[in-house]
């Protein structure tokens, strides 16, 4: 649906530019926009490469496995019925989100969901999301960010005088949203089980 909306906006803009005789401005704007987009991607690539590489080093060095073991008591309460491999993927996803690396977090998030789905299907074949999967989706969507790398890199690329000044506000907002999401999941899970009982 969004593809149709964006295509419609682009077509309307082009047609309007042609009708009003703004062909030169239209061509210049299209070219400038494309060059600005490529320039922004190049500026952001360094930050993404640094943090994604760091995450890969931590994974290969066994730090993620250690993190999964350290956070085991919390993980078991938040994600009941999940195995160690699924919890390791969850830990890696959360680490990437803590660093503000949404792109690096996505593959681990998908892997965690795949593993939780496989574990649930092995226990009881159905296509319903488990409580652990719902909790993970909520935590992943709200994603507490200690260091919002992507936003800081974008602010730096845009010429901000203090690109890291948003760290405290981002941490507070993402922390509150995560706590609210976890509380809602726990409340709804308890209500659901009471109704089933």
Please write the tens of the pLDDT for every residue from 145-196: 777 777 787 788 788 888 888 888 888 988 899 999 999 988 988 887 655 5
Confidence band, pLDDT 50/70/90 cuts, at residue 136: very high
The CA-atom distances, in angstroms, between 192 and each of 19, 59, 119, 127, 187 are 58, 37, 21, 18, 9
pLDDT tens-digit profile of 1-19? 788 998 888 888 888 888 8
Q: Is 46 helix (H, G, I), strand (E, B) or coil?
A: helix
Tell whether pTM > 0.85.
Answer: no
DSSP per position, 10-21: HHHHHHHHHHTT
φ and ψ of 148, to 5 deg? -70, 75
Mean per-residue pLDDT for 44-54? 73
Burial class (CB in 10 A: 0-12, 13-18, 19+), 39: exposed
Mean per-residue pLDDT for 80-85? 81
> What pLDDT does 156 receive?
82
């Amino acid at each position: 649906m969004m593809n149709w909306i964006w295509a419609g906006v682009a077509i309307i803009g082009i047609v309007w530019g042609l009708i009003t005789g703004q062909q030169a401005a239209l061509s210049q704007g299209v070219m400038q926009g494309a060059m600005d987009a490529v320039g922004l991607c190049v500026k952001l690539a360094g930050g993404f490469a640094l943090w994604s590489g760091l995450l890969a080093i931590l994974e290969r060095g066994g730090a993620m496995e250690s993190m999964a073991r350290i956070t085991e008591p919390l993980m078991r309460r938040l994600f009941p019925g999940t195995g160690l491999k699924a919890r390791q993927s969850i830990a890696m996803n959360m680490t990437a989100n803590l660093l503000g690396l949404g792109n690096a977090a996505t593959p681990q998030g998908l892997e965690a969901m795949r593993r939780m789905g496989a574990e649930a299907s092995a226990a009881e074949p159905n296509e319903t999301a488990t409580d652990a999967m719902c909790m993970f989706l909520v935590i992943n969507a709200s994603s507490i960010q200690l260091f919002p790398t992507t936003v800081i890199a974008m602010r730096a690329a845009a010429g901000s005088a203090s690109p890291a000044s948003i760290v405290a506000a981002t941490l507070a907002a993402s922390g509150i949203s995560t706590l609210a999401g976890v509380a809602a999941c726990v409340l709804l899970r308890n209500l659901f089980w009471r109704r089933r009982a």
